[in-house]
Amino acid sequence: MPELWIEGRAVRVPDGSSVLAALQNAGIRTLRQSLSGEPRGALCGMGSCLECRALVDGRVVRTCLTPVRDGQHITLFAEGVHDR
Ligand code: FES
């Protein structure tokens, strides 16, 4: 069972989960803000809407398409994850 770090908090999730599922299981729905400060979170769950972006190990990813790996560090509300 992989252990992730979400905003510095250790969370264990089932193998095969997406990062988005790990976040939602931890009760996290808002992942970032728009440029105007509106809260943003996952909508489609299949890689189309781009609303689930977050930093995973320093890279901007769509969390719904990113599988969990042991030791990942997830950062929410990060610079560079705004709307364009
Ligand atoms: S939830 Fe839409 S791209 Fe991830």
Q: pTM to 2 decimals?
A: 0.92
11-60 pLDDT per residue, tens: 999 999 999 999 999 999 999 998 898 999 999 999 999 999 999 999 99
In angstroms, the Cα distances linking 53 to 1, 65, 72 are 23, 10, 15
- CA-49 nearest atom, ligand 1: 2
Pocket-testing residue among 46, 61, 74, ligand 1, by greatest number of atoms within 8 A of Cβ: 46
Q: What is the DSSP string of 23-52?
A: HHHTT----EE-TT--EE--SSSSSSS-TT
Q: Decide: 20 and 74 in contact? Cβ < 8 Å.
A: no
- CA-64 nearest atom, ligand 1: 4
What is the Å distance from ligand 1's center to 41 Cα?
Answer: 8
